[in-house]
Amino acid sequence: MPVIAPKQKQREYDVVIVGSGAGGGQMAYTLTMEGVKVLVLEAGRMFDPVSETAMLHTWDMAPLRGVATPDKQYGFYDASVESGWDIPGEPYTNASNDKLRQFAWWRQRMMGGRTNHWGRVSLRNGPYDFKTRSRLGVGFDWPMTYEDLAPWYDKAEMLAGIFGDSEGIENSPDSSPGVLLPPPKFRAGELLARERARKLGVSVVPVHRAVLTRAQDADRIPQKLHPGNKKAQRLLAENMRLRLPCIYATDCHRGCSIKAAFDSTSVFLTPALKTGNLDILPNAMARAVTLNKAGKPSGVTFIDKTTGAEHHACGRVVVLAAGSQESVRLLLNSKSNRFPDGLANSSGKVGKYLTDSVASRVSGQIPALENLPLHNEDGVVGQQAYMPWWLAGQQEKLNFPGGYKALVVSGRGMPNLNTGKSFDRASEGDGIPFGKRLKEDARRYYGSFQSIGAQGAMAANDDCYCELDPAVKDKWGIPVLRFHWKWSADELRQVSHQQRTMTEILEAMGARFFRAPDIDQPEKAINQGGKIIHEVGGAIMGEDPAKSVTNQWCQTWDAPNLIMADGATFPGTADKNPTLTILALAYRAADHLVEELKKGNL
Amino acid sequence: MSSFEHPTTRRFVGNKSRVKDSRKGALPLALQTPKRPGDVDSDDRPRINRRVALQWISSATAAIPLLERDALSAERSGVRPKSVVAKGYGPDPDLLRLYRPGDLWPLTFTDAQRRLMIVLCDIIMPADESSPNASSLGVHDFVDEWISSPYRDQKSDRAIILKGLAWLDEETGRRDKNDFVSLPPQEQLGICHELARAAKADSRRFPGSFFYRLRNLVAGGYYTTPAGMKDIGYRGNTPQAEWNGPPPEVLKKLKLAPQ
């Protein structure tokens, strides 16, 4: 079974999965390794990270020095094609004209989905993050504990290949021994941050990222992940041996042709195809989930983007993993007599409770980092060091619920088009620097700038949701989403705390600031909803079918053979990035689904 | 699915060498700075001193009191350039190709504008003992590529930069019977110093806006070339088997313990 065109698809599959990213890829991998026949529908084209990514190209080889344009919205070399905030013919709308109340929606239309496009930061939610309501009185509890999910965090980490340390920090869980790969050494600015932040009671530790710092243990891990399944062990071991360790150059956002950085295509879909149990159908834009006569989900209608023709794929089980809000949109567009408000929506909760990371940043210039002896500071390029939330369990000290982590952005990274103007504020002299003075400024100040970016928790609220726009449709005639967004006072108070604390840490490093922090104007500092691309929710899991959309196995309450395998089921956003939890939840849901299929329960 | 297979050799080695080969063809294209007519026998010319240069800028500022956010002001001043009708590279371009100015959309500069841009590039990023000037790295062609681009941000720069180039020559001609390129280097530099002051005072008001945007493009264009990256002290983008953190002399300077 291979990559196919619509007419080549089988009459029926065990499982039809919409989406090929973190959630869809993980489901496809786990199911096909267990012999389940799977079809993956992907709205974008095939994309091969091995042969299509420009890993070592310098900016002068790209059009316009590689800056972001409406065609390539995260820069030219970003491994995103046909993707972005604004996709021609695929609009979405916002109910408010106020920018602070608008949501920005990144869509990734390509094989592997958004796993092509992330910084690979892979942090576990902690025990408290599953009990937001009980602990803090806001948002929701998850219908599971950390301990329930922990074994799948271990499994997802072993499969993806994650570096990091176990630090014993409250609510920033350690992995089981032997699961993580060694973290990279710190850069000069990160070492300085660690030394100075310690005096403020803040620990700077290695971040966890899905990047191989050494080869995976292909002799041991496959047996752990696939006990008793020799074929799966062999295929996984073969695939692990195709992945090379990091070469300590080039940004993971460009994609990784040596497969050191995790993406769904390299890690999930490649071995899944070799099982013979997977068909992949690219350029297939899902329209709706169909029901059989008994009112059970029976497949997916989709548009072949290459011809415009509509087709139907049959599956005993349907998995939606199209990217949280895209999956929500599919539910809302799957209307029937039985489900007039959209599939799986008898609670009325589909589209509700969107959350995102609460993010702001502070930057400064550190004189101690000027004129350092020249050295290569690429490391694993991007984040290496972070500050896990240091006040977990000390809620009484705070005027907002939850916490945040902070990522250190430091280093003598590859210059870009903005480098030329980046020394203006630091430069001493008359007029903006140019000529000899600019060259001297550049040699002195390059690499001496440091940012700290905070990303915090957001509890679900009633003001952040999406629904179908009553009028607007995309170019295939499919109704689009309309977003409602409003930061609560909690998030804004958190951002004030972020701004104040990040400033203190940079001050402890001796920073000069060229812009005052927005401590008293957090609405100026906070990133727009969706801009961090961590949005989740819209089909949240819970204990109560009247108040949630799925159970803890990501099965919808209304139809157990319909599974939500992306971030849509998150009942809230923790101070951790969502992808690792998407992987662990999808892994757990897939294992559960295999059991249910074996028992004949679906 | 053969395209998902990993090649037996490390892919990046192949990529790198292929790119390097194509660069060899590109580098000779980089132009030498033409000899400037004003370089010699300039003593009998009327000097544009600081006072005169300031007059230029204040008259320009007074004449066009609009914010320079888009092509609007250029249009009103009567020097609106021919608009760009080319298309962009689309949402799915070949990421591996080596792109040169002019490959994707037609360039704009006339010979005279190009000569002027070369002079300005080398004032903004001159050669010194450790690195070459901007024009020898083809940065003026990058500026042309930029202002010829069909995207919105670049179109805004197009209006202001073409207007600024015309303004420089008009002002020179009005006072000196010459164009900017023909002025003695010291006078060119003096005018740029005044423009740099105007840019710092208000980077959105012409002609400071012109110099601000041009400086950003030229300096950014310079530091994104291999020679520029080397000069600024970037030592990365080199595949390595391991990464050991900063060397001992860096830790020593920062008074940090070894990792």
Tell me the nearest-neighbour CA distance from A141 into chain B, angstroms.
41
Does residue A575 have a pLDDT over 80?
yes
What is the residue type of B219? Answer: A
Which residue does chain A place closest to B4, by CA atoms? A48
pLDDT level of residue B31 (50, 70, 90 thresholds): very low
pLDDT-derived band of residue B81, with 50, 70 and 90 as boundaries?
Answer: low
CB contact under 8 A, A438 and B145: no
Q: What is the pLDDT of residues A358-371, one digit of tens each?
A: 999 999 999 999 99
Give me the pLDDT at residue B72, please.
41
pLDDT at A584: 98
Burial class (CB in 10 A: 0-12, 13-18, 19+), B180: buried
pLDDT value for B259: 85
**Is the CB of residue B78 less than 8 Å away from at least one CB of chain A?**
no
B233 pLDDT more than 70? yes
The DSSP string of A349-365 is -TT---B--EEEEEEEE
Q: In the predicted model, what is the mean pLDDT of residues A499-522?
A: 96
Where does residue B252 fall: left (phi above 0), alpha (psi -120 to 50 degrees), or beta otherwise? alpha
CB pairs under 8 A between A and B: 283
CB atoms B232 and A59 under 8 Å: no
Predicted local distance difference test score (pLDDT) of residue B42: 37
Among B3, B215, B224, the residue with its CB nearest the CB of A434 is B215
pLDDT digits (tens, 9 = 90+) for B132-185: 999 999 999 999 999 999 999 999 999 999 999 999 999 888 877 889 999 999
Tokens of A162: 């994650």
CA pair distance A344, A355, nearest whole angstrom: 20
Beta-carbon contacts of A172 under 8 Å, excluding residues fewer than 6 positions away, are A123, A124, A126, A388, A389, A392, A405, A576
Cβ pair A365, A448 in contact under 8 A: yes
Whether the Cβ atoms of residue A255 and residue A204 lie closer than 8 Å to each other: no
Query: Domain extents for chain B?
Result: 29-76+97-234
Position B41 scores a pLDDT of: 37
**Residue B236 is encoded by which pair of tokens?**
């990365």
CA distance B8 to A385: 33
Q: Are A319 and A565 in contact (CB under 8 A)?
A: yes
Q: Can you give the pLDDT at residue A466? A: 98
Token code pair at residue A284: 């297939």
Q: Which of A55, A106, A252, A434 to mutate to test the interface with B (most CBs of B within 10 A)?
A: A434
pLDDT value for B48: 63
**Cα atoms in the Cβ-side hemisphere of radius 13 Å centred on B103:** 14
Is it the case that residue B63 has pLDDT exceeding 70? no
Q: Does the structure show a pLDDT above 70 at B10?
A: no
Which residues of chain B make contact with A181, given a CB cutoff of 8 A? none
The string over A198-237, giving b where at least 16 C-beta atoms fall within 10 Å of a residue's C-beta and e elsewhere, is eeeebebbbbbbbbbbeebbbeebbbebbeebeebbebbb
Are A434 and B152 within 8 A, CB to CB?
A: no
The whole-number average pLDDT for the span A126-141 is 97
Write down the ipTM of this complex.
0.95
Do A431 and B197 meet the contact criterion of CB atoms below 8 Å apart?
A: yes
3-state helix, strand, coil in chain A (%, to 5): 30, 20, 50
The set of residues, in sequence order, having a beta carbon less than 8 Å from that of B131 and lying 6+ positions away, is: A439, B227, B228, B230, B231
Out of A104-113, B33-42, B49-58, least confident range: B33-42
**A316 and A12 Cβ atoms separated by less than 8 Å:** yes
Distance (Å) of CA A43 to CA A9, A87, A115 = 16, 13, 15
Model confidence band, residue A410 (pLDDT cutoffs 50, 70, 90): confident
Q: Looking at the partner chain, which of A60, A187, A375 has a beta carbon nearest the beta carbon of B235?
A: A375
Question: pLDDT tier at B60 (50, 70, 90 boundaries)?
Answer: low
- Residue numbers in A near B225 (CB within 8 A): 58, 60
Across A125-129, A419-423, B43-47, B80-84, least confident range: B43-47
Distance CA B59, CA B57 (A): 5
Tell me if B12 and A368 make a contact (CB, 8 A cut-off).
Answer: no
| Residues on chain B touching A266 (C-beta within 8 angstroms) | 4
For the cut 60, the answer to whether the pLDDT of residue B52 exceeds it is: yes
Distance CA B200, CA B215 (A): 12
Of A3, A83, A414, the CB nearest to B1: A3
Q: Do residues A64 and B141 make contact, with C-beta atoms less than 8 angstroms apart?
A: no
User: Side chain identity at A27, as an amino acid letter?
Assistant: M
pLDDT at A126 over 60: yes
d(CA B123, CA A264) in angstroms, rounded, equals 49
Mean pLDDT, all residues of chain A? 97
The enclosing H or E element of A217 equals none
Q: Give the Å distances, CA to CA, from A179 to A155, A163, A175, B25.
A: 8, 9, 6, 48
User: In terms of C-beta density within 10 A (0-12 exposed, 13-18 middle, 19 or more buried), how is residue A166 classed?
Assistant: middle
pLDDT of res. A602: 85
User: pLDDT (tens digit, 9 = 90+) per residue, A308-340?
Assistant: 999 999 999 999 999 999 999 999 999 999 999
pLDDT tens-digit readout, A231-280: 999 999 999 999 999 999 999 999 999 999 999 999 999 999 999 999 99
pLDDT in tens, A460-509: 999 999 999 999 999 999 999 999 999 999 999 999 999 999 999 999 99
How far is A451 from A571, CA to CA, in rounded Å? 30
User: What is the maximum alpha-carbon separation in chain A?
Assistant: 78
Percent of chain A with pLDDT over 70: 100
Best mutation site among B9, B234, B251, B252 for testing chain A: the one with the most A CBs within 10 Å? B234
For the entire predicted model, the pTM comes to 0.91
A451: tokens are: 């940012």
Contacts of A428 in chain B (CB under 8 A): none
Contact (CB<8Å) B256/A379 = no
Examine the pLDDT at A417 and tell me if it is beyond 60: yes
Gap between the Cα atoms of A122 and A26, Å rounded: 15
Residue B229 confidence class, pLDDT cut points 50, 70, 90? very high
Number of other residues whose CB lies within 10 A of the CB of residue B82: 8
Pairing of strands A310-320, A13-18: parallel
Q: In the prediction, which pLDDT does A297 show?
A: 98
Above 70 in pLDDT, residue A185?
A: yes
State yes or no: pLDDT of B47 exceeds 70. no
pLDDT score at B173: 87
Q: Return the half-sphere exposure (C-beta side, CA atoms, 13 A cut-off) of residue A64.
A: 25
pLDDT at B44 (0 to 100): 41
Report pLDDT digits (tens) over B172-184.
888 778 899 999 9
d(CA B73, CA A341) in angstroms, rounded, equals: 52
Mean pLDDT of B207-227: 98
Q: pLDDT digits over A26-60, tens only?
A: 999 999 999 999 999 999 999 999 999 999 999 99
Which of B149, B235, B240 lies at the smallest CB-CB distance from A64? B149
Q: With an 8 Å Cβ cutoff, is B155 touching chain A?
A: no
Averaged confidence pLDDT in chain B: 79
CA distance A41 to A25: 11
Whether the Cβ atoms of residue A281 and residue A41 lie closer than 8 Å to each other: yes
Q: What percent of chain B has pLDDT over 70?
A: 69
Partnered with residue A407 across adjacent β-strands are A386, A453
Residue of B nearest to A431 (CA): B197
Q: Which two tokens stand for residue B97?
A: 């190709």
pLDDT-above-90 percentage for chain A: 99
Rounded percentage of chain B residues whose pLDDT exceeds 90: 63
- Residue among A443, A384, A415, A364 nearest A191 (CA): A384
Tell me if B124 and A71 make a contact (CB, 8 A cut-off). no
Residue to substitute from A3, A20, A64, interface B, most B β-carbons within 10 A: A64
